[in-house]
Structure 1
């Protein structure tokens, strides 16, 4: 470790990684790389399907496409650097790159906080006010909601990143983490950070409290509405639609609650890494899989896309063979 520190700039940080001195580093690298590939592929497929299939041009799927974009950017912020560090000797990250990583990470996390709350509101309107749904969740409203989620997340990034990077750092530059997460970076500060930690705590409480309040209120009203439904099929459809969102919310908010809300006495570097990996690596992979595997509309859209591609290939093969044989157009039209 001394040699690594001597070869780096005084402003560089050293990321100790997800696992330190593990004999199973090759297996861990393979698993994380596989998760990364699945997450990127699944999210891009979700975005593409929602864009090209007219039946998915609804408010719920528009918000889902925004979630897939956020998940893609989130996992690309942390995992590529982690994979590079796992196979390299120097595990350094420059001061500027660390600041950029903090900004992108906090922006994506904050945006997802707000977006998941807005998705709960969308489900509330769909279940409790189905007749007014087209009016309340029109295209303009969807764009405003998505813009609000992105703005709220970027505000978090613009607020917390400069303060984190302006704290004086001296002595050890080794961050006991696999990316520049704010609590892990602040442990290296050589000044009193209690004021900043209080500010960060208040900011995170607000960012969790607002969407959690929206989610709790929305689902309480949804449960009351579903309980009053006489149709068994209607109840089943409502539960299926909402259960996917609740699974994602439970994983994401649970991990965030541990990281930013629990006192330091509950934290250890190993626990922090596992929890951070859960919502920065695992969750971006689970989100599209949960929504696609449990959603008949998405699977139907995927089948239509495959059928369309297969039909296009067959038409192309027939056209090319017809050109070679030289059949007249009148004969082709009869067939």
Structure 2
């Protein structure tokens, strides 16, 4: 059932406490079908896990992927003024145009695996504030970004993927992850090279994250407040999208470090909030593996990707289609005239 659009941050928080559960009956029916297909039990490994996960949230013994949404959110970050990225902020605008012209990696993956791609640019001419000196967003700005993500998820979607584009957003994701899960082992454990920082750039990134955490210390216990102070518009939009997908019972394939940091806000707000999500891959960004462990997700792939855009999830969409093809298309032992175990 479609929920009314939340209009305040309090409403977004409240929704985290009223999340639907998976459909146990659909999982049992999917498992029963799997048991009579012409293969040994468990022979398709994680492909069988994928099918049961989709069944749980679609409520169907034979899940489908006829309507797959990929939404790429774009935002700019004020913290880039501190030299924490290998690329200038104007690249965000240029890449949005590239998406719209069909020239990016995610365009090719969406086309290859039959997904609908949408690009949503969020106030690119108005970067968030430098979170080393002020909260990245005012509450109204955070709510607007959450709403943009929320509204992107369409009822009846079989699978949703959120991607991002935003120069500086690995710094935002690092600060947000450290705020959500702690940094007793040091800030460096959450900071990677992003788009290709040299050693000096990495030191600037670590210094920026440390400064931001010190500035906002005492205000980060609430996950949504941490998102407001350390996130970005595209990060918050992904948070809103993942939350609405859960309310609509739409399964979500999580992309890389930034997408997982956005989703982690919900997991910290309500344990189990990401049960409808599966991690597509572990990226080359060093902290992504640490973050996946923190949110309890085992990635499907590990290919050394570090592009963003939803590209890792786009590649994993091929695995989703493989799992569904086997589950729906294989003959049963009775149909094939094969003796079962």
TM-score by length of 2: 0.26
Which is greater in Rg? 1
How high is the TM-score relative to the length of structure 1?
Answer: 0.27
Judging by fraction of residues, say which structure has more strand.
2
